[in-house]
Chains A and B, each alone.
Chain A
Amino acid sequence: MDKNEILTRVKGVVSAVLKTESSEITDDANFIFDLGADSMQSVELVAGFEEEFDIEMDQDRALEVQTIGDAVNFISEYV
Chain B
Amino acid sequence: MEDLQKLRQKNLETIFNPKSIAIVGTNKVKGTVPHDILDNILKADFNGIVYPVSPREKSIKGIKAYKYVVDVPDDIDLAILVFPSSVCHMALEQCGQKGIKSVIIISAGYKEVGEAGLKREQQLIEIARKYDMSFIGPNCLGVINTFPDTRLDASFAREMPARGNIGFLSQSGALCTAVLDYASAKHIGFSKFISFGNKADISEIDLLFYLMNDEETKVILMYLEEVSDGQALMDAAREVIEKSGKPILILKSGRTNEGASAAASHTGSLAGSDEVCDAGFEQAGIIRCDNIEEMFNRARAFAYQPPPASEKVAIITNAGGPGVLTTDAAISRGLKLAKFSEETTAILKKALPATANINNPVDVIGDARSDRYLAAIQAAFDDEDVAGVFVILTPQSMTDIDTIAADVARIAEGQTKPIYTSFMGEKDVASGIDILQRANIPHYILPESMCDSYNAVYHFNKHVKSKAHQLPALDNIQEGLARNIMAKVHVNGRTYIPEVETIDLLQSYGLPVPQGKLASSPEEAVKIADKIGYPVVMKVVSDDIIHKSDAKGIELNLGSPAEVKDAWERIHTNVKSAMPEASITGLYVVRMITGSEEIILGIKRDPSFGPVLLFGLGGIFVEIFKDVSFGVAPLSREDAMNMLQQTRAYKILQGARGQNPRDMDSIVDALLRLGQLAVDFPEIEELDINPLFVMDEGRGSVIGDARMILAKTE
- Residue in A closest to B65 when the chains form the complex, CB atoms: A36
Q: In the complex, which of the residues A20, A33, A64 contacts B83, with contact meaning CB atoms closer than 8 Å? A: A33
B11-31 interface code vs A (CB 8 A; 1 in, 0 out): 000000000000000010100
Residue of B nearest to A35 (CB): B55
Check if A33 sits within 8 Å of B87, measured CB to CB: yes
Interface residues on B, range: 10 to 19
A residues 29-66 in Cβ contact with B at 8 Å? 30, 32-36, 38-39, 64, 66
Tell me whether A66 and B27 are in contact (CB under 8 A).
no
In the complex, B57 has a CB within 8 A of chain A: yes
CA distance A38 to B84 in the complex (A): 9
Asked if B29 and A34 sit within 8 Å, CB to CB, the answer is no
**Chain A residues within 8 Å of chain B by Cβ, number:** 12
B56 within 8 A of A: yes
- By a CB distance below 8 angstroms, the chain B residues around A32 are 55, 83-84, 86-87
A7 contact set on B, CB distance < 8 A: none
B344 within 8 A of A: no
Min CB distance B538 to A, Å, is: 68
List of A residues within 8 angstroms of B83 by Cβ: 32-33
Tell me the nearest residue of chain A to B54, going by C-beta. A36
Q: Is B91 an interface residue (CB 8 A)?
A: yes
**In the complex, A30 Cα to B86 Cα: how many Å?**
10
- Chain B, residues 79-91, CB within 8 Å of chain A (1/0): the string is 0000110110011
CB distance from A46 to the nearest CB of B (A): 15
Q: B90 to A33, Cβ gap below 8 A?
A: yes
Interface residues of A, Cβ cutoff 8 Å to B: 18, 20, 30, 32-36, 38-39, 64, 66
Residue of A18, A33, A38, A64 near B91 (CB, 8 A) is: A33
| Closest CB pairs A-B (n = 9) | A36-B56, A36-B55, A33-B87, A32-B87, A33-B90, A34-B55, A32-B84, A30-B87, A35-B55
Residues of A within 8 A of B55 (CB): 32-36
Q: A38-B27, A38-B29 are in contact. Are A66 and B57 (CB under 8 A)?
A: no
Contact partners of A38 in chain B: CB under 8 A: 27, 29, 32
List 10 A-B pairs, Cβ < 8 Å.
Answer: A18-B56, A32-B83, A33-B87, A33-B90, A34-B55, A35-B55, A35-B56, A38-B27, A66-B86, A66-B87
Nearest-Cβ distance from residue A73 to partner chain B, whole angstroms = 17
* Closest chain A residue, CB of each to CB of B34: A38
Smallest Cβ-Cβ distance to A36: which chain B residue? B56
Task: Please give 20 more A-B residue pairs, beta carbons under 8 A apart, in addition to A32-B83, A32-B86, A35-B55.
Answer: A20-B56, A30-B90, A32-B55, A32-B84, A33-B55, A33-B83, A33-B87, A33-B90, A33-B91, A34-B55, A35-B56, A36-B27, A36-B54, A36-B56, A36-B57, A38-B29, A38-B32, A39-B84, A66-B86, A66-B87
Residues of B within 8 A of A30 (CB): 87, 90
Bound-state CA distance A18–B27 (Å) is 14
Minimal beta-carbon separation of A9 from chain B (angstroms): 22
In the complex, chain A residues whose CB is within 8 Å of the CB of B57: 36
Which single residue of chain A is at the shortest CB-CB distance from B29?
A38
